[in-house]
Amino acid sequence: MTRVGYFGTWERGYPRNEQVISCLRGAGATVEEIHEEVWSNEHKFALGARLLPRLAAAELRLARRRVTSDVVLVGYPGQFDLWAAKRTGKPVAFNAMLSLHETLVDDRNRFSPGSMPSRALAAVDRLAFRAADLLVADTAANASAMAEFAGLEHVEHVFVGAEERLFQPSWQPPERFVALFVGKLIPLHGLETILAAARLVPEITFRIVGSGQQAALLHELPRNVEHLPWVDYSELPREYARAGCALGIFGTSRKVERVIPNKAFQALAVGTPLVTADTPAARELLQHGDNALLIDRSAEALAAAVELLARDRALAARIAASGRATFERAASEAVLGRRWLGLLRSLE
């Protein structure tokens, strides 16, 4: 039986981490959680003066931890954890998910391109990516970009999936059609496009669940847009189950081309019809008109897709059923668990 040490300052509660641990245990691996708390929703990616001492202290504690597992898997975010992971003497895999540089510079605009923090973050990313014996991204498109960025020959990938303890097939065509968006309101998600689309189809209700960086865009909402700043994670499946369709991402950054977000997998798991941007990453899993509607990243295209699903309930039901079947075939915990376990066993 493979013993895995899930290692680092990884963010507890983040779907990617919870999902990987659940998948591995479901596949028969013994998973020991070797964790030091640093990140939280309140200060994640803040990288401020108060965070750095906490991070440094956590890394020193990790370096002293005794690890008896066969392989160490560094969780997300874990760029700063590779030094301590390598000190264990075990083979090290890194569940990288994202580049810190791309997230904080290109996506969230925390630092300007070419600035000292920008260059430092790029250096941290490269060192961490190169230090791992196995680097794992979430899509083939993202894996290719990481390999090019870090000068690596190959990067593996495993889809994000969704936690099946929560996200089970439960969608039924609703009497009241609502287009649902769930997210942290970062530029990647394309909130401006969603609001503009809502204005084009005032007869259809849009429900936005979440808060974050672009919350100011919600100060003056069209009458057909509902906003709920927060829903308990355990209640999200109910939100998907009663929606007419779920909205993915529609931002304009380069990162949109390479990721399939948590919300897309959650919608597929519940069986909710999905509308999201037509990107290389999305096409790794989805086919337009079959298991999702893949559209141009414009308000007009989004409005037309939502209107189509609201009008053609038979099409919505077919996409819902095919989306759920796609999840079972390509992104279920059983499928992803076998994939993760095979990759980690290759390091033993």
Rounded to two decimals, what is the model's pTM?
0.92
The verdict on 222 and 243 lying in the same domain is yes
Mean pLDDT, range 316-326, rounded to an integer? 98
Measured distance CA(72)–CA(333) in Å, rounded: 20
Residue 172: inside a domain, yes or no? no
Domain count, the chain: 2
Question: Do 218 and 285 lie in a common domain?
Answer: yes
- Average pLDDT estimate for 84-113: 84
Mean of pLDDT values over 27-36: 96
**Is the peptide bond preceding residue 173 cis, with omega within 30 degrees of 0?**
no
Confidence of residue 247 (pLDDT cuts 50, 70, 90): very high
Same domain, 123 and 10: yes
84 lies in the same domain as 121: yes
Count of CB atoms within 10 A of residue 210's CB? 21
- Provide the residue range defining the domain that includes 113: 3-161+333-345
Average pLDDT, the chain: 92
70 & 133 share domain: yes
Q: Is the domain of 320 the same as that of 338?
A: no
The CATH number that applies at residue 20 is 3.40.50.2000
Residue 42: the pLDDT is 45
Q: Which of 145, 134, 133 is nearest to 103 (CA)?
A: 145
Measuring CA to CA, how many Å separate 115 from each of 19, 109, 193, 344? 35, 12, 29, 37
For residues 281 and 261, what is the distance between their CA atoms, to the nearest angstrom?
A: 10
Residues 70 and 204 placed together within one structural domain of the fold: no
Mean pLDDT value across residues 301-305: 98
Residues 203 and 296 in one domain: yes
> CA 162, CA 264: separation in Å to the nearest integer?
9
Instruction: Identify the DSSP state of 27.
Output: T
Q: What is the pLDDT of residue 102?
A: 78
DSSP 107: I
Q: Is the same domain home to 117 and 187?
A: no
Query: pLDDT class for 109, splitting at 50, 70, 90?
Result: low
> Does a structural domain hold residue 13?
yes
Residue 30 inside a domain? The answer is yes
Check residues 50 and 19 and name the one with the higher pLDDT: 19
- Percent of the chain residues topping a pLDDT of 70: 95
